Amino acid sequence: MVEGRSRVASHDSHTGRLPGLFLSPDTSSFTEFLGSYSPELLPGRRPVPAVPVGEGIPHATTIVAVTFPGGVVMAGDRRATAGNVIAQRDIEKVFRADEFSAIAMAGTAGIGMELIRLFQVELEHYEKREGRTLSVEGKANRLATLVRGNLGMAMQGLAVVPLFAGYDEERDAGRIFSYDPAGGRYEEREFHSIGSGSVYARGALKKLFRADLSPEDAALVCVQALYDAADDDSATGGPDMARRIFPVVAVVSDEGYRRLGEDEVGALAQTVVEGRYDSPGGPTAPLR
């Protein structure tokens, strides 16, 4: 955004005034404003990298989310891959969207990070302009618009798929929203996963989910699901006990967004890993 600020300074440097577009009350959307003033700064308007798609470009996986009474837990593994190479072992894919919501991404890592930063600014800009926060559905709809703006890149192989979760004050419940590369928005029930390991993670979530989970148990379910994903998907990284690299786990409730500390997640990871010595396939669900 530095480039945008320098353009502002040079645009009306002789008067010391901001351009009229900066003072217009027409929109509370930062993305719409940026698209009018400097559209080339939007992630979807960037030129395609001059390398074959899929070669040397890090991709991020896997994300899971689980609801519990009064909130939702979101977690992501730490591995990014470029083809068959591990590009990064400690990438972060789960972030605070605002005080009562979280966002994570799978897909092209660089574009995904830009999209998340833009979404964070979008929510903050709206709150400052309107003096109130968007509803959970309003936030989910704004994110769908951002994803749709990246459709051109997605058609060329640089897709980003986010997962959004937030606390709904009216329902006193956590809600989860998934997306497709074209910007389609879908509300998920109870739990969901995205990324290359999502099929394996979702299988674990199915057998471990309970409607009465505590926040701590919901976090443990997420770590178990990520372990199962890493067990079968080479692009998903499991807990790295030697390097002390653990999943990013965040809880969103009426108390707001809270990222679990390294010690907390490390204890969860230790519980999962030790349990796998006796049961490599993980905990089993009762048949009746």
Positions annotated as catalytic residues are: 61
CA dihedral 80, 86, 87, 89 (to 10 degrees): 60
Place of tokens 């809270």: 258
Place of tokens 């004050």: 169
Whether 248 and 259 have beta carbons less than 8 Å apart is answered as yes
Burial of 192 per CB tally in 10 Å (0-12, 13-18, 19+): buried
CA distances 101 to 22, 57, 150, 256, Å, are 28, 28, 22, 8
Of the candidates 210, 138, 145, which has an alpha carbon nearest to the alpha carbon of residue 175?
Answer: 138
User: Containing H/E element for 186?
Assistant: strand 185-188
Burial of 170 per CB tally in 10 Å (0-12, 13-18, 19+): exposed
- The angle formed by the CA atoms of residues 258, 94 and 174, to the nearest 5 degrees, is 55
Place of tokens 């709150």: 127
Rounded CA-CA distance 118/123 in Å is 9
Please enumerate in sequence order all residues whose Cβ is within 8 A of that of 196, keeping only pairs 6 or more positions apart, or say none: 59, 61, 62, 106, 233, 235, 236
